[in-house]
Amino acid sequence: MVKKSMNKKECIFCKIADREIFSRILFENESTLGFLDSSPLSNGHSIIIPKNHYSNLEDIPDKELTELYKIVKKLAVRIHQNLKIDGYNILQNNFTAAGQVIKHFHVHIIPRNYNDKIFRIEIPRSQASDNQLDDVFKILRS
Ligand SMILES: [Zn+2]
């Protein structure tokens, strides 16, 4: 069953799920599809989507998210072992500010090798004062 949405008609990932657009499908079950990214950052870069159209992490129901991440793990292991890569990034962008381009929830598996220079996420240290940390902590703690 496919959730109807205003965006669905124009959504490239819905078209892939509906086989209106060709993709190299690596895994499929009732709710989830995994396929090779056609513009890969590295060899074997893959995308996993729910077949239903959900815009982002906040829209996808927990049950479908849980099922989808099982497939992310399954494909990550397959990619890691079969391509003999050194590691991989699991990347999931939400909203334009975070780099989300296609507004259909999706997870990237990006194969990595030592010194591949594709990108490197550097975690900056010591950028926040204790007061800043206390302020945000007060806002976010439940
Ligand atoms: Zn879609």
87: phi then psi, degrees, rounded to nearest 5: -175, -170
Helix runs in 45-129, H state only: 62-83
Q: Which of 45, 53, 104, 106 is catalytic?
A: 106
- Quote the tokens at residue 116: 């591949």
Beta bridge partners of residue 20, listed in sequence order: none
Could you give the 3-state DSSP secondary structure of residue 32?
strand
Q: In this predicted model, what pLDDT tens digit does every residue of 2-50 receive, in sequence order?
A: 444 445 779 999 999 999 999 999 999 999 999 999 999 999 999 999 9
Task: Measure 92 CA to ligand 1 centroid, in angstroms.
Answer: 15
Task: Measure 29 CA to ligand 1 centroid, in angstroms.
Answer: 17
> CA-to-CA distance for 57 and 69, rounded, in angstroms?
12
Task: Measure 128 CA to ligand 1 centroid, in angstroms.
Answer: 38
> CA-to-CA distance for 54 and 51, rounded, in angstroms?
9
Around ion ligand 1, residues with a beta carbon closer than 5 Å are: 11, 13-14, 53, 104
Query: Which pLDDT score is estimated for 127?
Result: 80
Beta bridge partners of residue 33, listed in sequence order: 28, 49
53 flagged as catalytic: no
Query: Which pLDDT score is estimated for 7?
Result: 59
> CA-to-CA distance for 33 and 25, rounded, in angstroms?
7
Task: Measure 33 CA to ligand 1 centroid, in angstroms.
Answer: 12
What pTM did the predictor assign?
0.89
Q: In this predicted model, what pLDDT tens digit does every residue of 92-139 receive, in sequence order?
A: 999 999 999 999 999 999 999 999 988 887 777 778 889 999 999 999
**Domains of the chain by start residue, with CATH:** 8-140 (3.30.428.10)
Helix runs in 1-142, H state only: 12-17, 62-83, 130-140
